């Protein structure tokens, strides 16, 4: 038996991915950009074992057995095995390793945060799984595109710091990969606060929400063609210049536009709750009071907020949140993290 354990962090999208041009290869309609959070507070941890003794492949998520026939999981297994085969034939090193490709796999994964509450748990989960499988089967080179087959945003959790997922142009998806834009050390003062409003499962999963938006939202078309390419360039400049005002404005506009697209979807999809909207209002009121932008919010496909701010403002903003938001269940403070994958 061979066994390995990996941990992978959550990534929070600043420029959002919403909509696919290919559902099987998980190719997005637009490029996106995220920051990778510290895996101590928010991470997936996956142990993968392969053995010739196992009679079938099995998977457990947070101790509950899952259906292994899930097509995304099967696509990931197939791609890993094909690449492993290719890597070993190139190195004339088939033998044992090739035999291992036929063994069954046992996967045990757990998150230390709410699984389906819009905190990118599938991203961390698939990123972790792909890293573990690549390690076990000896696959080297680019593997973010394999993580993408599990969940689009997972490709961004393969790196630390600020990460761009290039939408790519090729039909086979070979150029739709994640790339680091800047390391965490580039902007060490930047902090994220995750406000967990609820850990309920979201009503509409991202995959289904995106499909509905692609089919019905006019705003999504305009966004993809005319707005996102410009914003990707703008946010990269803001990161390069460590320009918090600009970074914050794009971050909030991106979040608002994602949720505007959701409302423009027919029937509309609502991820934000009354508490989410109160958080947004508080951020705008606080920024106005300070006379400059001190905090930015962003929401993915759920009501939980991620706030970005600079280290010096963390104590003030935390006490504000604690004062006004009893409904916020828990709050994590996180650094932008640099080295997401650990193979102990």
Question: Least distance (Å) from ligand DP6 to the CB of residue 116?
Answer: 10
26 phi-psi bin (left φ>0, alpha ψ -120 to 50, beta other): left
The rounded distance, in Å, linking the Cα atoms of 58 and 60 is 7
What are the residue ranges of helices labelled H in the chain?
Answer: 71-90, 95-100, 121-137, 144-150, 206-216, 218-222, 228-240, 244-264, 274-290, 314-324
Residues in the chain: 344
- Identify the residue among 6, 9, 10, 17 touching ligand DP6 (CB under 6 A): 17
- 152 lies in the site for ligand DP6, by CB under 6 A: yes
- 301 lies in the site for ligand DP6, by CB under 6 A: yes
- Identify the residue among 206, 276, 287, 334 touching ligand DP6 (CB under 6 A): 206
Who contacts 214 (Cβ-Cβ below 8 Å, separation ≥6)? Answer: 19, 20, 29, 220
- 211 lies in the site for ligand DP6, by CB under 6 A: no
Using the CB atoms, write b or e for 40-51: b if 16+ within 10 Å. ebbbbbbbbbbe
Question: Least distance (Å) from ligand DP6 to the CB of residue 7?
Answer: 19
- Give the SS3 label for residue 190: strand
Within 212-271, which residues bind ligand DP6 (CB under 6 A)?
A: none
- 176 lies in the site for ligand DP6, by CB under 6 A: no
- Give the SS3 label for residue 86: helix
Which region, judged by CB under 6 A, interacts with ligand DP6, from 40-48, 79-87, 118-126, 335-343?
118-126
Per-residue binding letters, 32-61, with ligand DP6 (x by CB under 6 A): x-----------------------------
Which region, judged by CB under 6 A, interacts with ligand DP6, from 43-51, 116-124, 191-199, 238-246?
116-124
Q: Which is nearer to ligand DP6, 73 or 105 (CB)?
A: 73
Who contacts 283 (Cβ-Cβ below 8 Å, separation ≥6)? Answer: 252, 295, 296, 297, 307
Q: Which is nearer to ligand DP6, 250 or 317 (CB)?
A: 250
Q: 211: which 2 tokens?
A: 């499909």
* Angle, helices 71-90/121-137, rounded to nearest 10 degrees: 30
Q: 44: which 2 tokens?
A: 């997936």
Question: Least distance (Å) from ligand DP6 to the CB of residue 251?
Answer: 12
- Identify the residue among 6, 8, 13, 220 touching ligand DP6 (CB under 6 A): 13
Task: Kindly report the backbone phi and psi dihedral angles of residue 325, in degrees, each rounded to the nearest multiple of 5, phi listed first.
Answer: -120, 75
- 120 lies in the site for ligand DP6, by CB under 6 A: yes
- 153 lies in the site for ligand DP6, by CB under 6 A: yes
Q: What is the DSSP letter of 111?
A: E
317 phi-psi bin (left φ>0, alpha ψ -120 to 50, beta other): alpha
Question: Least distance (Å) from ligand DP6 to the CB of residue 300?
Answer: 4
Q: Which is nearer to ligand DP6, 134 or 258 (CB)?
A: 258
Who contacts 304 (Cβ-Cβ below 8 Å, separation ≥6)? Answer: 114, 117, 118, 119, 194, 195, 196, 197, 198, 276
Q: Which is nearer to ligand DP6, 143 or 301 (CB)?
A: 301
- Identify the residue among 151, 198, 265, 298 touching ligand DP6 (CB under 6 A): 151
Q: 135: which 2 tokens?
A: 């390690």
Q: Which is nearer to ligand DP6, 16 or 294 (CB)?
A: 16
- Identify the residue among 38, 122, 298, 304 touching ligand DP6 (CB under 6 A): 122
**Interface residues with ligand DP6 (CB under 6 A)?**
13, 16-18, 26, 32, 120, 122-123, 151-153, 206-207, 300-301
């Amino acid at each position: 038996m061979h066994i390995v354990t990996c941990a992978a962090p959550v990534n929070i999208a600043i420029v959002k991915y919403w909509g696919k041009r290919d559902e099987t290869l998980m190719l997005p309609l637009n490029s996106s950009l995220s920051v990778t959070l510290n895996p101590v507070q928010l991470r997936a941890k996956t142990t993968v074992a392969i053995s010739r003794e196992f009679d079938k492949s099995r998977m457990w998520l947070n101790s509950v057995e899952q259906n292994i026939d899930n097509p995304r999981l099967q696509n990931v297994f197939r791609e890993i095995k094909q690449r492993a085969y290719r890597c070993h034939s190139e190195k004339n090193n088939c033998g044992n390793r090739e035999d291992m490709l036929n063994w069954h796999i046992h996967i045990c994964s757990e998150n230390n945060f709410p699984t389906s509450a819009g905190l990118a748990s599938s991203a961390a989960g698939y990123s972790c799984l792909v890293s573990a499988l690549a390690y076990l089967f000896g696959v080297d080179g680019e593997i973010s595109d394999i993580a993408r087959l599990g969940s689009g945003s997972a490709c961004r959790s393969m790196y630390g710091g600020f990460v761009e997922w290039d939408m790519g142009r090729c039909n086979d998806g070979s150029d739709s990969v994640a790339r680091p834009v800047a390391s965490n050390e580039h902007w060490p003062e930047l902090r994220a606060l995750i406000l967990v409003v609820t850990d309920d499962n979201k009503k509409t999963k991202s995959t289904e929400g995106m499909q509905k938006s692609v089919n019905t939202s006019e705003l999504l078309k305009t966004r993809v063609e005319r707005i996102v390419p410009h914003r990707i360039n703008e946010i990269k400049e803001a990161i390069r210049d460590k320009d918090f005002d600009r970074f914050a404005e794009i971050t909030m506009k991106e979040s608002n536009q994602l949720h505007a697209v959701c409302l423009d979807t027919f029937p509309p999809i609502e991820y934000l709750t009354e508490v989410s909207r109160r958080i947004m209002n508080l951020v705008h009121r606080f920024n106005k009071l300070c006379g400059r932008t001190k905090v930015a919010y962003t929401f993915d496909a759920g009501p939980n907020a991620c706030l970005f701010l600079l280290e010096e403002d963390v104590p003030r903003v935390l006490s504000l949140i604690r004062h006004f938001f009893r409904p916020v269940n828990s709050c994590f403070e996180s650094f932008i993290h640099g080295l997401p994958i650990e193979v102990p």
